[in-house]
Structure 1
Amino acid sequence: MDVDLGGFLGQNGTYDYDKDYEYKPDDESEGSRAVLIPLLYSAVMVVGQLGNVLLLVILTQKRKSWTISDIFILHLGVSDALLLATLPLRAVQAAEHGWRFGTELCKISGAVFNINFYCGIFLLACISVDRCLSIVHNKQLFTHNRPARAHLSCLVAWFISLILTIPDWIFLTAANDEKGDVCRSDYSQSETDWRLLSRLRHHTLGLLLPAAVLIFCCVRILLRLQQRPKSSQKPTDIMVLLLLVGVFFLCWVPYNITLIVDTFRNGSKEPQDGSSGEGSLKTALMVTAALGCVHACLRPLLYFGLCDNFRKRAVALLTCATDEPKGSLCELGVGEEARPDQSQEVQEIKPMTSVEQQVPSPQC
């Protein structure tokens, strides 16, 4: 039996296997990101700037009667307003898939983004430490008689935030990429592995240490409040603080987790744009960074929903009313002494009454 192999073995041509397996980007998903993320940035910028401008105007009007809580609210509002001012640059970058504003604005935008995160977590840590000392140990870190200590603590938080963003001011640049100019950190000209050092600085000093302080203080406060009788608790200021901390972590933790994954994945090497894994990681960083920026517009909404004084002052300002409430704009309890437990008060009163009964009354 003759088998004709000529038809099979005689094929001398070559076949391009890469033709059918060529990677094609998902144009639909990129188009969705190009629309949704700029819309998100625009909405956050409009809502956030309206809320923070209203907040800062009200604080300016009552600057002669600032409380310790108002001081921290002021610095948090300034930090959010600075971040919101850079969101148009991020919106255009997401829409056009490239950076169009040069190296100087690249440095400013990246540094302000990190300053907002650092300053926010440091200021919340200061508030939490004060509340923990007041409720758990009956001590005060800040007092209304000495507001300079609160201002100094806020300035220290700003100073540390600026120190931690020094690598951003040095290495951020508008570099050329395959798809155009991008705003990224360029460590190629440095012999020292500044990229890894910068990430370790962010993960330890900027995230883990202040987050540990926040979690420790909040847990101690909750445990202490559970031991108190319900009639002696004042949960309003504690609830506002816990919600502020919870919303902060909800918005910023996804970005920081993604950044940690990127740090371990790339190590000390610069990320390569060719792999699909790097592309998905870049997309995750973009989306989670946008979620972190959302936090800047949520704080005024929380104040308006939870704080009666802020809501009344906002309504009074918008309606040009003259009657304004007194007290802190949003009661965080900073600088206030904790109420003693009623059980302790009763125990102190009982011996006093018994002694009074034993002492005979003087006879005339």
Structure 2
Amino acid sequence: MHSSQTVGDMLSDALDDLEDYNSSYDYSLSNWSGVCDLNEGMKFEVVFIPILYCVAFIVGILGNGVLLGVLFHSRKIWSVTDTFILHLGVADILLLVTLPFWATQYAQDDGWTFRTPLCKIVGSVFVINFYCGIFLLACISLDRYLSIVHATQMYSRRKPWVVQASCLSVWFFSLLLSIPDWIFFEAVLDIRRQRTECIRNYFIFGERAVFVGQWASRLLYHIVGFLLPSAILIYCYSCILERLRCGTQGLQKQKAFRVIVTVVVAFFLCWTPYNITLMVDTLHSGNSTDTCGKRSSLDKAKTVTFTLGCLHCCLNPILYAFVGVKFRRQLMDILRSLGCKLKTSAKFQSTVNSRRSSIWSESADTSHSTAI
């Protein structure tokens, strides 16, 4: 009888715990969306996200595919900058491959149908790509800063393994920073929306860990993934621009530097809105006084700015094509080798095989870059 009572008590306690968990999870969802009608937000996501993600996927895969093809065609004359751009292209393609999964989640009534293992992979790839992108840009800016401002060689073309080791270190560090996402991402049934979603489930370590886990991951993302690298980029390029403005620099050097600045500015224009929106959302998390309209506006802002950030993955090849002269030359050479007849001016032809400017240091000659 005593044993039966113990089993009954244990079963009762388990049911109570399950009820507490569900109510806590439901509270988290209601805290995220209030007691508001979610139909408006869901209609917005169903129409907005799949279309833009599909466009970004098609344009991005084609653009980055062309970029990697151009780099592969000129692999014998790679510069340090080309190596970084190669890794940027790979990181962008990895993120683009995940977009069809996210588009499917929003387009289907059932939501995420690919289960938790794939949810962890797809969710973490976004974080890895974001970290890799800004860290690789930071590496380029540091190399440019030391080369131009201090005339110091950060990398040497005689030791290509050094830049490769730097890129692999960026990938490894980005993978370490994504460990929380590998842990928390799960396919979870959203009770209020009546659909499964691939989200970070902070309840796996208990209700007390929700607040700490969410704030810790957000602070890590804001500080390490955006604010600190952004400070490095702004400082380095401010010093470089000041040096170029005060010094007598060659036209070739200024043109090559213009492409890198354009790429960095494009990165900030695409990802800064999302980071600002996410910071506002972090500050408002746990605020039960938010109105339905404010919460709905913030959710839509996160959706729009996140999509804008994802569009950055297909933007770099377009920038190289419109701003980078050498990229266009290499692309035309490839098209000619494939039998395409292209009309080019005599002046343009005379510069295709011309010797590049010797102003840049041999360690990291941006003017030698195929993409620039």
TM-score (norm 1): 0.77
Q: CA distance change for structure 1 residues 232 and 58 in 2, over 3 Å: closer, same or farther?
A: closer
Query: Aligned to 1:137, what secondary structure does the other structure show?
Result: coil
SS at match of 2:281: helix
> Structure 1's 227 and 279: CA in aligned 2 closer, same or farther, altered over 3 A?
same
In the TM superposition, what are the counterparts of 1:120-269 in structure 2 within 5 Å? 120-177=133-190, 178-179=192-193, 180-190=195-205, 192=209, 193-229=212-248, 234-266=253-285
In 1, are the aligned partners of 2:137 and 2:264 still within 8 Å (CA)? yes
How far residue 61 of structure 1 moved from its aligned partner, in angstroms, is 2.8
2:319 pairs, out of 302, 307, 315, with 302
Q: CA deviation at 1:250?
A: 0.4
Moved over 6 A (4+): 271-274
How big is the shift at 1:93? Answer: 2.1
Provide the rounded CA distance (Å) in 2 between the counterparts of 1:314 and 1:95: 37
Asked whether the 8 Å contact 1:139–1:337 carries over to 2, the reply is no
Say if 1:140 and 1:337, in contact at 8 Å, map to a contact too: no
- Out of 37, 47, 72, the residue aligned to residue 84 of structure 2 is 72
Alpha-carbon deviation of 1:276? Answer: 4.6
For this pair of structures, how many residues does the alignment match? Answer: 311
Whether the 8 Å CA contact 2:320–2:327 is kept in 1: the answer is yes
1:171-229 per-residue CA deviation (whole Å, 9 max, x = no partner) reads 10010112111111111132542221111111111111111100100111111111113
Q: CA deviation at 1:301?
A: 0.6
1:114 aligns with 2:127: yes
1:33-52, aligned counterparts within 5 Å? 33-52=45-64
8 Å Cα contact 2:80-2:365 kept in structure 1: no
Measure the CA separation in 2 of the matches of 1:25 and 1:173: 21
Label 1:23 to 1:212 Cα distance change in 2 as closer, same or farther (>3 A): closer
Displacement after TM superposition at 1:322 (Å): 8.7
Q: Is the 8 A contact 2:63 2:317 kept in 1?
A: yes
Distance, in Å, in 2 between the alignment partners of 1:88 and 1:181 is 16
CA distance in 1, matches of 2:73, 2:297: 48
Contact kept, 8 Å, 2:81 with 2:364, in 1: the verdict is: no
Higher relative contact order (CA 8 A, sep 6+): 2
2: distance between equivalents of 1:322 and 1:130?
Answer: 39
Q: Which amino acid aligns with 2:94?
A: L
CA contact (8 A) 1:247 1:295 kept: yes
Larger Rg: 1
Counterpart CA distance in 2 for 1:49 and 1:31 is 27
Partner amino acid, structure 2, of 1:280: S
- Judged with a 3 Å threshold, the aligned counterparts in structure 2 of structure 1 residues 63 and 23 are, in CA distance, closer, same or farther, namely closer
Contact 2:46 2:106 in 1 (8 A): yes
What is the CA distance between 1:63 and its match in structure 2? 2.5
**Residues of 2 paired with 1:170 and 1:326: CA distance?**
52
Amino acid at match of 1:228: G
Separation in structure 2 between the aligned mates of residue 172 and residue 23 of structure 1, nearest angstrom:
25
Other-structure match for 2:7: none
Aligned AA (2:49): I
Find the residue that maps to 1:176 and give its secondary structure: strand
Q: Which has the higher helix share?
A: 2
Unaligned residue ranges in structure 1 (runs of 5+): 1-21, 340-364
In structure 2, the CA distance between the partners of 1:326 and 1:229, relative to structure 1 (3 Å rule), is: closer
Aligned partner letter, 1:131: R
Q: Deviations over 1:268-291 (max 9, x none)?
A: x9x999945433322222211111
Q: Which runs of 5+ in 2 are unaligned?
A: 1-34, 341-348, 368-372
